[in-house]
């Protein structure tokens, strides 16, 4: 072996160790979501959040991440991805400690927002650093596949680990498990990872960052308030202001030379379908995860660990589909795989309509297995499809939009569809409290009231999941019309892109 070969071997070994270090925060982000779904009944009993606060606990993380993702991506490219990754991990750890010891709902929401501030750097910066570690296209493709599979595996392991911990400890433990991983990352990342910078023209438009964040938060807060408490002048004004701010944001992007969001990319139909796929797959994934977690525990009466074990079959299928998506694309093409993802998701979600207040485990497992195929394909294909649809000089903007669609969809799934389910519960429930868990915690309930509350929750679940299914199926039909058929030579294996392999973000 020559000295040059030995140097390459050493570089490869260091690159794989660097990949291992980055995978820690990736697994944390995935586990954070799945564990928190299982912890919500315990959180509700311990700090008694209102209906609105319970939804904010779940989705404030995703809204903070989605509103800062592109801005932090631009800043990371300019000032260093590793620097942002280290700072983000430290902030994420500090937020986790604060969340674990939060005495009330307001403090927990604030700490979750702080975690979102750190989390906005973790996935995009981690993916950029991994791409820089591997110069060989095949190695890079394999590394990004491992990156995506780790996210899916974290989602699978999270409920089991969380179930074991929550069966012995209070709910705060779901946040404390982040700390050892953060400490190890901060210790080894500076040694094994190299800084990544690229030259971007223009500057980050601060006003655009503020407008996007404020517009999203005000609009969703209005929707959530309407679902939890009904229409009111304050709620209506909040919604109108939020929509006006978002309209201002869109107009500003169309006039800037270097916009925060390059909305002109949506003129391409294939790109639009890819971004909508990233958005809707996470809307369905987040809403189903949250609502079925409550269903298994509070309606069917399963314990935390038993509910976690029931999640495993679907999570395992999601992991396999995520890893095997590239092989599927080589056989049937990107178009067919992308379209199939929508119909797997839509059909699988419809199976949840078979659940009742007495039985539903078989329907839940079947649904999670079928949707797992669609989620796995979607998580792996969205960014690559979006990047392939635009000119090379706009690939960075396309990848950023793909990442943002995942994060925003994750938050919207809980806030909008969760709010829809909450509205149904408020309209059809016994009127004791705003959510099922709050109702069941009220002492002295009659058997009839408990049954009425469970029926109302199931109605809300069916309405919300039915809406998610229709959206996925409708987008599948749109993809059939908008995504052109690939020529035969396009289905041959090609050199993979560094941007491929995007996975979803947390709440």
CATH of the domain at 308: 1.20.1250.20
Residue with the bigger pLDDT between 19 and 258: it is 19
Q: Is the dihedral of CA 48, 442, 439, 454 positive or negative?
A: positive
CA distance 333 to 325: 10
Residue 465 has pLDDT above 70, yes or no: yes
The one-character DSSP state at 107 is H
Residue 352 lies in a domain: yes
Query: Domain for residue 501, yes or no?
Result: no
220, 240, 259 - which closes a domain: 259
Same domain, 338 and 416: yes
Per-residue confidence (pLDDT) for residue 167, from 0 to 100? 78
Lowest mean pLDDT among 38-52, 316-330, 352-366, 484-498: 484-498
How confident is the model at residue 73, as a pLDDT? Answer: 66
At residue 506, the pLDDT reads: 41
Whether 158 is in a domain gets the answer: yes
Query: Is residue 498 a part of any domain in this protein?
Result: no
Q: Kindly provide the b/e burial profile for residues 146-157, where b requires at least 16 CB atoms within 10 angstroms of the residue's own CB.
A: bbbbbbbbbbbb
Residues 252 and 317 in one domain: no
Mean pLDDT of 303-316: 84
**187 in the same domain as 223:** no
How far is residue 300's CA from residue 149's CA, in Å, rounded to a whole number?
31
90 and 132 housed in the same domain: yes
User: How far apart, in whole angstroms, are the C-alpha atoms of residue 368 and residue 2?
Assistant: 51
Examine the domain organization and report whether 161 and 247 are in the same domain. Answer: no
Candidate ranges 61-65, 262-266, 501-505; pick with highest mean pLDDT: 262-266
Does one domain contain both 133 and 218? no
Which own/partner contact pairs does 36-39 have at CB distance under 8 Å and 24+ positions apart? 36/174, 36/507, 37/159, 37/289, 37/290, 37/293, 38/159, 38/162, 38/163, 38/166, 38/174, 38/293, 38/297, 38/304, 38/307, 38/308, 39/162, 39/166, 39/171, 39/174, 39/304
- Residue in the structure block whose two tokens are 């409708």: 474
- Dist. CA 85–CA 87, nearest whole Å: 6
Asked whether residue 139 is assigned to any structural domain, the reply reads: yes
Count up the domains in the chain and report the number: 2
**Whole domain around residue 249: which residue ranges?**
205-259
Shared domain check, 316 and 388: yes
Contact 296, 302 (CB under 8 A): yes
**Same structural domain for residues 228 and 324?**
no
Determine contact, residues 219/239, Cβ cutoff 8 Å.
Answer: yes
The answer as to whether 503 is a domain residue is no
Assess if residue 229 is contained within a domain.
Answer: yes
504, part of any domain = no
Are 476 and 378 in the same domain? yes
- Asked whether residue 23 falls in the same domain as residue 121, the answer is yes
218 with 355, same domain? no
Dihedral over alpha carbons 143, 147, 148, 152 (to 10 degrees): 140
Q: Provide CB contacts within 8 A for 25, sequence distance 6+.
A: 85, 89, 92, 122, 126, 181, 182, 185
Q: Is the pTM of this model over 0.85?
A: no
Q: Are residues 199 and 300 in the same domain?
A: yes
């Amino acid at each position: 072996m020559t000295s040059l070969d030995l140097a390459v071997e050493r570089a490869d070994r260091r690159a794989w160790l660097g990949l291992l270090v980055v995978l820690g925060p990736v697994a944390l982000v995935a586990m954070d979501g799945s564990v928190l779904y299982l912890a919500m009944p315990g959180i509700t009993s311990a700090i008694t959040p209102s209906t609105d606060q319970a939804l904010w606990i779940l989705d404030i993380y995703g809204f903070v991440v989605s509103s800062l993702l592109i801005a932090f991506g631009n800043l990371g490219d300019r000032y260093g991805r590793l620097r942002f990754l280290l700072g983000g991990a430290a902030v994420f750890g500090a937020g986790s400690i604060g969340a674990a010891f939060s005495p009330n709902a307001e403090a927990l929401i604030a700490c979750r927002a702080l975690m979102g501030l750190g989390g906005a750097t973790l996935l995009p910066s981690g993916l950029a650093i991994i791409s820089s570690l591997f110069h060989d296209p095949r190695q890079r493709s394999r590394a990004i596949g491992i990156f995506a599979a780790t996210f899916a595996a974290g989602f699978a392991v999270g409920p089991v680990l969380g179930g074991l911990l929550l069966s012995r400890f209070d709910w705060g433990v779901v946040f404390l498990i982040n700390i050892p991983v953060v400490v190890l990352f901060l210790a080894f990342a500076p040694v094994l990872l190299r800084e990544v910078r690229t030259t971007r023209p223009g500057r980050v438009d601060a006003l655009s960052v503020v407008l996007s964040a404020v517009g999203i938060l005000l609009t969703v807060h209005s929707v959530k308030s309407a679902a939890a408490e009904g229409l009111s002048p304050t709620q209506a004004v909040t919604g109108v202001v939020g929509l006006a701010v978002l309209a201002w944001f869109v107009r500003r992007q169309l006039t800037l030379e270097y916009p925060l969001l390059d909305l002109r990319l949506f003129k391409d139909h294939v790109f639009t379908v890819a971004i909508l796929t990233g958005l809707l797959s996470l809307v369905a994934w987040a809403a189903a995860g949250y609502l079925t977690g409550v269903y298994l525990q509070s309606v069917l009466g399963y314990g935390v660990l038993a509910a976690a074990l029931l999640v495993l079959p679907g999570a395992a299928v999601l992991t396999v589909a995520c890893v095997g998506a590239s092989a599927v694309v080589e056989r049937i093409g990107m178009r067919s795989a992308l379209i199939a993802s929508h119909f797997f998701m839509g059909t699988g979600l419809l199976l949840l309509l078979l659940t009742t207040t007495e039985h539903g485990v078989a329907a839940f497992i079947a649904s999670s297995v079928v949707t797992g195929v669609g989620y796995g394909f979607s998580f792996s294909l969205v960014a690559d499809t979006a990047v392939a649809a635009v000119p090379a000089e706009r690939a960075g903007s396309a990848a950023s939009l793909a990442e943002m669609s995942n994060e925003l969809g994750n938050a919207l799934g809980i806030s909008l569809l969760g709010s829809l389910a909450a509205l149904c519960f408020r309209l059809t429930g016994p009127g004791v409290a705003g959510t099922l868990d709050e109702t069941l915690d009220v002492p002295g309930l009659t058997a009839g009231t408990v049954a009425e509350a469970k029926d109302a929750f199931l109605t809300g679940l069916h309405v919300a999941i039915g809406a998610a299914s229709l959206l996925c199926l409708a987008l599948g039909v749109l993809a059939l019309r908008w995504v052109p058929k690939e020529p035969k030579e396009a289905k041959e294996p090609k050199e993979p892109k560094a941007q491929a392999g995007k996975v979803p973000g947390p709440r």
